[in-house]
Structure formats: structure tokens, C-alpha cells
Chain A
Amino acid sequence: MEAFTVMTAVAAPMLRDNIDTDIIIPSREMKTVSKTGLSAGLFAGWRYTAIGGREPNPEFVLNQPAYADTRILLGGSNFGCGSSREHAVWALHEYGIRAVIAPSFSPIFHGNCIRNGIVPVALGADDIAAMAAWVSEAPQEHRVTVDLQRGEVTAGIKRRYPFVLEGEAREMLLEGLDAIDLTLKHRTAIQQFIDQDRQTRPWIYQGA
């Protein structure tokens, strides 16, 4: 996984609450058993003029020239709710999105971001609205910086917003760590747990 330290990029406002993973990538756009080839389906229901079509809807924010090369999304609360499909995060990443700033995230979507190098930044709705207003004045010039090292989002000189990523998420993203590799270092501890647990709860290992 690629590491994330600091990034300054175009940010696109999508401030509605409850943007679910089926909006991020509709189920009909998950056409193969694959983690790639998904970015064309990103926001397909909003991005194109017809279901299954590929003619851009000019009203959709990411289709507007002012938002070319968007790398950051500004979202509403409960971002990524609904289906657990990691395809939503894979599609965002393939499109180029590296950070999503929203008041709250669905827990599964949040976890999927961490595992794929996208920074989920939780900030207050009012702060995000203020940032969105500033960005939309001149999206290409008014770029947003997400500094994971410092734990800070900056939007121009006056707007600085500290944020915290709980647990080991920050370290995983900063160093681009593969969680499976890390965990496999605990192989012995895992086997010891199982050996002991087999005595305490044998049905877990024999019933299935």
C-alpha cells in the first residue's frame, strides 16, 4: 500500500448526508471479480446521463472542468454507509481520491479506507461547509492540504483544522503498511491463543 504523508489538491464538495456505497459505486457497475477496473463506475448514477451509459452529466461536480484532478472529497455525515463493498474505496482510489473529509463515516467504509491508502478525516459539519464555500470560489486555486503527519487540514491561510485518526490507522497510512504482513509477525501468539482456547471453548474448533 502506498504511504500517505501530506497532500495539497483540488477538493470537491459533495455535502449531502448518507452518501452510501451504492451511490459511490452502484452494484450494477461491479462487473467482475476484481479490485480494479472500477473507476469508470464511480458515482455512475450521478456522473452519467443514463443508467449504464457513459455520457457525462455536466451538472455533476466531478465532471466540471473547475474540479479537474480532484483528489479530496468533502462529504456529509455517515459517509460510505450501506453495503460493506470495498469496491467503493477501490473505485475512489483508482479515480485518484486520496482523502475524504466528512463529519462521520460508516465504520466499515472507514476501515476500508485505511486498508487502501485513503485518509478518512472527521471534521465538524460547519467547518466542512466553510471549507466547501471557500473551495467553490475557485476550486483549482483554493486547494486543500491534508497533512497526516501533523494531523491537520488547511484550507487557505485562515482555515486550519486539527484532526485525529484513532488507533493505529495513522501509522498504517503514514507508513503504507500491509496489515496482513504485520499480523503474521504474531503467528506464534496466534497459535498459542488457539491452543489455549481449544481447551476453554473446544466447541469452537470441533463443532464446525
Chain B
Amino acid sequence: MPARTLFDKLWEAHVVRDLGGVVALIAIDRIFLHERTGSVALKSLRDSGRTLLDPSRVFCTMDHIVDTLPGRGDSTLMPGGSQFILETREAAREAGIRLFDVRDPLQGIVHVISPELGIVLPGATIVCPDSHTCTQGALGAFAWGIGSTEAEHALATGTLRVARPRTMRVNFEGVLPPGVTAKDMALALISAHGSVGGNGYAVEFAGGAVRELDIEARLTLCNMATEFSAVTGFIAPDEKTFAYLKGRECAPRAALWDQAVRQWRELRSDEGARFDREITLDVSDLAPMVTWGTSPQQAMPITGRVPEAAAAGGSIEAHARALGYMGLEAGQALAELSIGAAFLGSCTNSRLSDLRRAAAILRGRRVASGVRAICVPGSMSVKRQAEAEGLDVIFREAGFEWREAGCSMCFFAGGESFGHRQRVISSTNRNFESRQGPETRTHIASPEVVAASAVMGRITDPRTLIRANGLAGHDLVGHDLVGGRR
């Protein structure tokens, strides 16, 4: 057999039937829904008189619309949101699928709870009517976002008609410097190769720097594949993957586990396998990245200055519009920009390791006056674990709001927002115009940058505070060393 890529293996294991040309009928192992786009798929399926092929492999969560304020229930700050919650609950009950409801102790953001519960598995296909489904490729799955009609198709038939994407491998080589993360790797890739750089491709992330990432960081990296316009992003499973999954609620057990792991070890690109495109990036000199514009490709090292049009790539008009929207001028240092808010959360960066790294910076420090800071754990399990470690105390004492799990203010749906022209440093994935609120100015970055910037009241290179921690010892209050306000 010729050398095959990991994607070839994932694809070929799921072909039910060749439909001619590049299209095949692909078996879908897992379907996840949420109350925003899954509700309409369930409702439409019911109205068409069709039934689910296998409800035992379909899951649903409440994450997009549900409030994240303490004491939340079915009513929402988003006008009309409760209708989505009530109809989703009813449709899920009728369909006989497992729902992680508003008060379920396992509720959370779909792309956080699916790995956390071992619902996504290496070698599996998983779809969700949500663009960030590619996140779950981090475990070696073929995971991709679809529309609601496609979700209906998958629910009814257990398959999708898929045009086979081209293959790309992105090799991250070198050793990631301290204070630099998977989020920075993703932003560096997208800024170098553009928001359409991955268009039409299934992208395998590989190389020494990827192997070094823990599973939660790999989820962050794959999460951003959709911002690269890729069909999906994924990483070959390895011992870290197996250790992460072992014992998770829906992961196989005992003899089945051993059998699964034996197969999963084959899930890697063969030596000499050919990709339609290959990109290599060295991460050794990478700095924390921050976006300056209104597309994830408009990102640069935090030590940089807002680029001139010629250096920014894209058209002069697009550059001018982005700067106008963001209230910036070319040549301004990113690290001088005052912020009004800091947001830590979303399917990109809301897992326990994200919260730990942010808390390590916040410990003994205070959010600058005038900055609204919010932390939204990605799942109720993450929240409980964080509380067991006392992270919630660090966040609260620093001046962060400590929320219930959900997508929260990653996007604006008519409820909570940061306000007009408010500048927000955010651990989320999209800095589109008005994404976090009408005319809100979003800068996306790692949890470290969010925490450091919240403390300083301006976009801040977290390495300065991390170094101060090192000098002062982690338990000391290093605040005065770095000139922040108490």
C-alpha cells in the first residue's frame, strides 16, 4: 500500500460509498448539537417526518445562548433566548438524545465538553453545526463544522455527502519560548498565510512543537483552523492523547480500550506520504501575538507596532477600514493601547490549563481600575476543578467576574456586550467588526496576554509579569515590581 496521510486514513475508514468524482458518502460517528443551530435541525427533521438513525450517538448542549451569570436559568439576557432553550430541550427529549442541559453538572461549551467526556475519539468522524468543531481534531478525529441542513442529513442518515478536501501539513518546528502558546502559533500561521490560506484543505498540524503541546493546547491550535478557512485541522494521536482520554466517561474501557489504542497507534501520516501543500514554521523566536485589525490574519507580535498598509497585506482600503474601526493609527505600539475590558473564555481558551496560566499571572495582583474583567470557564467541570484548586479565589480577588460555563461574550447576540468602541483584550477566536458588541474593538490573544493586560490596563506582554513572578517567587506579590496599580 502506498504511503498514506493521516487524513487519507481517516477518510478511507469512513467511506460508505463512492458517489462519483471527489464526493463520497462518509459515515458520521458522532453528532453534537447546541441550542443555537441544533434546535432548528431537530425541529426541521421532526417536521419532515424523518427520524434519527441512531440517537445514542447524538449529543446536545446549551452553550451559545444560555446566560453565564450566577443563578442563571432558562430566561436569558439575550432577547428571546429562552425560546431556543425550551425548544431545544423539548426537541432533544423527543429525539431521545443526551442533552447537557442548563443545570447539568457536565454542561459546557460543545468543544470543551466533547473531549472532556471522551465523546470525540481518535479516528472518529464528528460533526456539529458550529464552525469551531475543528477544535476536536486535536484528538486525531476528523471533526468539522456544518450547517443545520447538513446536521439534519447526518441525523437522518448517519452520513454526509462530502467532497474530499485537499491535504495540507503545517509543521511547527523548534521549541516554543516561555510565555508563548498554541494560540500564538495559530495566529502566527494565519497572519503569515492569510485568512484563506487553508481554504479547501484538511490541515494536519505536525512537527516537534506540536508534539510538545499538551492536549488542551492542541485543542486551542485546531480551534483556529476555521479562521484559516480550512475544512478541518487535526493532530495525530499519541501517548498524550491516550493518557488524556483514558477513563473519561464515554471513552472505551477495559479490553475495548486496549483494542482501540492498538488501532489508534496507526493513526499517523506514513513516512513519505504526500500532501498537496506543506508549510513549515519555526516557533523558536515566536512572541505572544495580538490582533490589531478586524480579521484574525491582522495579527502581529505584541512587541510590534500597527503596520502601514504596505506591510499589512491586503488592500489599502481594507487596512484603512480596519484601523478606522479599531481606532488605531499605523505606527502605534500595540503595547501602549489602553483597554476597557478583558475577556477570558470561549472554545479557544477556557480550559483548566488556560485558567491556571492566567491565574499564575493574576495571583497577588489586581485588575487595573476602569477595566471590566470576566472569566468564563468552558465547562462546569472546568469550573469545579478550578474552584477545587482555588483559582476562582485568585480571579475574584484580582477583580475578575467568575462566571458559569458557556460561550458568553465571545459573540454578541443582543444581550450582554462590552459597549461601543470599548477596547477588549480577548482570549476568543474572532475579532470581526461588532463580534463582541456593536462597534466593540476586539484584540484577540492568549490567556496570558489577557491576564497581563487586565492587570496593567493596557495591552501588555505577559513575559514581563512572568519574569517578575520568577524574580519575586510565585507566592510573593510581585505587583509593585512591574508598576501596576493595586
Task: Tell me the A residues contacting B by CB distance below 8 Å.
Answer: 16-18, 20, 22-23, 26-28, 30-35, 45, 51-52, 77-78, 81-86, 89, 104, 106-108, 111-112, 115-116, 166-169, 179-180, 182-184, 186-187, 189-190, 193-194, 197, 201-208
Q: Which residues of B contact A107 (CB under 8 A)?
A: 165, 199-200, 229-231
Known A17-B318, A18-B195, A186-B17; contact A179-B161, beta-carbon cutoff 8 A: yes
B195 touches A31 (CB 8 A): no
Residue of A nearest to B232 (CB): A107
Contact of A108 among B22, B23, B131 (CB under 8 A): B131
- Total A-B Cβ pairs within 8 A: 195
| A111→B149 CA distance, assembly (Å) | 10
Contacts A78-B196, A107-B230 given; 14 further ones with Cβ under 8 A?
A16-B318, A16-B321, A20-B430, A27-B414, A30-B413, A35-B44, A84-B37, A84-B146, A84-B147, A107-B200, A190-B16, A203-B251, A207-B252, A208-B57
Q: Which residues of A contact B260 (CB under 8 A)?
A: 201, 203
**Is B207 located at the chain interface by the 8 A CB criterion?**
no
Q: Which residues of A contact B230 (CB under 8 A)?
A: 107
Contact of B131 among A33, A34, A82, A189 (CB under 8 A): A82
Mind listing 13 A-B residue pairs with CB under 8 Å? A22-B434, A26-B412, A32-B80, A86-B37, A86-B129, A86-B148, A106-B226, A107-B230, A167-B22, A180-B48, A187-B157, A203-B256, A207-B121
**Residues of chain B in range 294-315 having any CB-CB distance to chain A below 8 Å:** 294-295, 314-315
| A52→B417 CA distance, assembly (Å) | 14
Least CB distance from A50 to B in Å reads 10
B256 touches A207 (CB 8 A): yes
Known A183-B25, A207-B256; contact A22-B44, beta-carbon cutoff 8 A: no
Contact of B229 among A78, A186, A189 (CB under 8 A): A78
A204 touches B29 (CB 8 A): yes
Q: For this complex, into which size category does the number of interface residues on chain B fall?
A: 35 or more
Q: Which residues of A contact B158 (CB under 8 A)?
A: 190, 194
**Is B145 located at the chain interface by the 8 A CB criterion?**
yes
Per CB-CB distance, the 4 closest pairs between chain A and chain B, nearest first, are: A28-B414, A203-B252, A167-B163, A86-B147
Q: Which residues of B contact A179 (CB under 8 A)?
A: 149, 153, 161
Contact of B20 among A32, A52, A112, A168 (CB under 8 A): A168
A33 touches B150 (CB 8 A): no
Least CB distance from A195 to B in Å reads 12
A31 touches B161 (CB 8 A): no
B157 touches A111 (CB 8 A): no
| A119→B93 CA distance, assembly (Å) | 36
**Is B354 located at the chain interface by the 8 A CB criterion?**
no
Q: Which residues of B contact A166 (CB under 8 A)?
A: 21-22, 163
**Is B282 located at the chain interface by the 8 A CB criterion?**
no
A206 touches B256 (CB 8 A): yes
Q: Which residues of B contact A187 (CB under 8 A)?
A: 157
| A202→B21 CA distance, assembly (Å) | 31
Interface string of B3-29 (1 = CB under 8 A from A): 000000000000011011111010101
A31 touches B147 (CB 8 A): no
Least CB distance from A47 to B in Å reads 13
Q: Which residues of A contact B88 (CB under 8 A)?
A: 33
Contact of B79 among A31, A33, A197, A205 (CB under 8 A): A31
Residue of B nearest to A202 (CB): B256
Q: Which residues of A contact B87 (CB under 8 A)?
A: 33
A203 touches B259 (CB 8 A): yes
Residue of A nearest to B231 (CB): A107
| A34→B230 CA distance, assembly (Å) | 28
Contact of A111 among B50, B146, B318 (CB under 8 A): B146
Least CB distance from B148 to A in Å reads 5
Least CB distance from A83 to B in Å reads 6
A27 touches B145 (CB 8 A): no
**Residues of chain B in range 123-140 having any CB-CB distance to chain A below 8 Å:** 123-124, 129-131
B156 touches A203 (CB 8 A): no
Q: Which residues of B contact A16 (CB under 8 A)?
A: 317-318, 321
Q: Which residues of B contact A201 (CB under 8 A)?
A: 123, 260, 263
A115 touches B150 (CB 8 A): yes
Interface string of B192-232 (1 = CB under 8 A from A): 00011001100000000000000000000000001001110
A22 touches B43 (CB 8 A): no
Residue of A nearest to B164 (CB): A167
Residue of A nearest to B420 (CB): A51
Q: Which residues of A contact B430 (CB under 8 A)?
A: 20, 82
